[in-house]
Amino acid sequence: MESDSIRASGTDTLVDIWINGKLRAICVSRDAIDSHIGFDRAAAMSEDDRCEFVRKNLPLVVTAVKRKLRDTEPGADAVTIEGSQLGAVDDGADRRKRERRTTERRKVSKPKEVLPHGERRRTDRRKTERRRPPGK
């Protein structure tokens, strides 16, 4: 990403980036950064530090912008990320606490006709030996 596409302006950090096939002007407010990293750490951040934070966390910013575009106006040229919108909905939040297996993993014996084409064998049993018999 070019160095001039992320810049600080007052308390906001501005980013120009292509999202969903359109060049968009994104404004990440200081409150969004503060709520994401903590108000005590963010108080000591300079403008350059905020620009570096946005550059390093660009996927997080893009996700927040796409979420806001989906919820509000999809054709907006300028989007402002405020408050807790930067990390508001985390779909993979603490995945260690939820159930990871979604289906039964045990093998269930089903007749060959019921199985999908890719999961059934071409023949039920081997017609030939696996190895040649030893030569005489």
Task: Scan for tokens 């060959």, then name that residue.
Answer: 112
Identify the three-state secondary structure at position 15: strand
pLDDT attached to residue 118:
58
The neighbouring-strand residues paired with 26 are 15, 79
Least confident stretch, 14-23, 79-88, 95-104: 95-104
Q: Are 68 and 26 in contact (CB under 8 A)?
A: no
pLDDT in tens, 61-89: 999 999 999 988 888 999 999 988 887 44
pLDDT attached to residue 27:
95
Compare 1 and 55 and report the one with higher pLDDT: 55
pLDDT attached to residue 88:
45
Residue 17 neighbours by CB under 8 Å, 6+ apart: 1, 5, 23, 24, 26, 58, 62
- pLDDT > 80? residue 135: no
Q: What is the mean pLDDT of the chain?
A: 79
DSSP calls for 28-72: E-HHHHHHHH-HHHHTT--HHHHHHHHHHTHHHHHHHHHHHHHHS
- pLDDT > 50? residue 110: yes
Q: What is the mean pLDDT of residues 83-110?
A: 64
